Structure 1
């Protein structure tokens, strides 16, 4: 299941997000979306978890959590058609 994480602090790293989600289960991939001009984070990213139950638990526990001074929003990513 692909999970969207929004409202991340610009200083949050992929390693931080990976560690956060690994507490709830296996993580297939983790990526921050970067600004091509500045090279900095755009403030959101994606995590893929192979087990939907673990992904749902992570979403439930991590949504509205304070991470590095920002209240993050975590939800299931919508599929692009």
Structure 2
């Protein structure tokens, strides 16, 4: 399942996101979206988890939690 993670702090790294989601299951891909000109985070990322149950657990556990002083939003990404 592909998840969309929004409202990330600009200081949150791809490694931080992968670690956060790995606590809830296997992560096959993590992509922090960066601004092409500045190289800075745009504040959102995509996380892919192959196991649907683990992905749903991650959504429930992490949505509206505080990460690096930002309340993140996690949902199923639109196909």
Which 5+ residue runs of structure 1 have no aligned equivalent? none
Consecutive aligned runs of 4 or more in structure 1 exceeding 3 Å deviation: none
In structure 2, distance between residues paired with 1:38 and 1:69 = 22
Residue correspondence of structure 1 range 1-81 to structure 2 within 5 A: 1-79=1-79
How far 1:51 moved relative to its partner? 0.1
* TM-score using structure 1 length: 0.96
- 1:43-75: CA deviation from partner (whole Å, max 9, x where unpaired): 000000000000000000000000001000000
Other structure's SS at 2:15 match: helix
How far 1:9 moved relative to its partner? 0.1
* TM-score using structure 2 length: 0.99
In structure 1, distance between residues paired with 2:49 and 2:22 = 9
Which 5+ residue runs of structure 2 have no aligned equivalent? none
Task: State the superposition RMSD in angstroms.
Answer: 0.4
